[in-house]
Amino acid sequence: MEALAQDQADVAPPPKAPEQQQQRPLSKNAQKRLLKQQRYEAKKAEKKALLKEHKKREAERKRKEWQEALESATEAERSKLIESRRELRRERMEKRSEEREGKLRRLEGARESGQKIVIDLEFAHLMSANEISSLCQQIMYCYAVNGRCAYPCHLWLTGCEGEMGSQLQRIPGFDKWFVEKEDRSYVEALQDWKENLVYLTADSANVLDVLDQKKIYIIGGLVDRNRWKGLTMKKAEEQGIQTAKLPIGNYLKMSSSQVLTVNQVMEILLKFLETKDWKDSFFHVIPQRKRCEADSIQPQGEAEEEDNAEDDLSESNKERVEVPPPN
């Protein structure tokens, strides 16, 4: 009997991994989107390689120019050139130090009185290692944008455990980030303020008109490539917390994906804190290619800034804060 049981165990198919069990065959439209995304990423990788090569050539050119200048100069001129270069370096270091100190002062002020925003990182079990890595890139961008803002928020990262926590720890300087880091869920970490928690999800019937300083807004950290629909809404309902959606449909129509990245949602909220204007916030952050042609006119100078921001992160880094369909 023991041998028979062993034989059966040998021929039994191995259990499917959770991700394999969850995935379903892609529809034709999904296959087209995937192919488009692959072309986009290939083009982006090529652009990145060209930029890297250009920077390398520029560095080499400047090094040669500096060497030639030193070789052709007299001893006195050489001393002046070296001292001038040292002075420029000192000025750059002082400027960076001042910017760093100003950033810390703003973030300290945000910890005392800033708008609280939480990124919920409890969905790592639904993502692959690459998707978690993509989410970490988005979080890096969130932190960078928040630090540059004149009115930064008080940022919380909750659910920083397991694979999610491990990948966050690989980010250079993460231990020194001026944010609240919690292994616990936001419900546990903020249980004393549960009545003020508001989960941002497009499935909500409540439209967010303004940001309430007393509320704590939650962004779901999930790079899901459209596999998980309505997940954040269901989670909020089960936990008995409030929900709301961004009023994007009141100001523009979307032409393609109905999904925004974590960093895009974060930047929209930060822009609104600065301007108190939803339309300006949406047009400043949402890429032009995601808008209908009639909505594509934007303030001069923002298109280039927007494209540069999008180059920092692949469009495949998608989080389930969906844009509601236009009314």
Contact 305, 285 (CB under 8 A): no
- What gap in Å lies between CA 272 and CA 31, rounded to an integer? 36
Contact 232, 242 (CB under 8 A): no
Beta-bridge mates of residue 199: 218, 243
Phi and psi dihedrals of 156, rounded to 5? Answer: -120, 140
Phi and psi dihedrals of 308, rounded to 5? Answer: -65, -40
Helix (H) or strand (E) holding 200: strand 197-200
Helix (H) or strand (E) holding 286: none
Active site includes 224?
yes
- What gap in Å lies between CA 273 and CA 117, rounded to an integer? 12
Q: Of 316, 318, 308, whose CA–CA distance to 284 is shortest?
A: 308
Task: Quote the Cα angle for 221-26-322, to 5°.
Answer: 30
Phi and psi dihedrals of 322, rounded to 5? Answer: -75, 150
Q: Which of 183, 224, 295, 312 is catalytic?
A: 224
Residues taking part in catalysis: 224
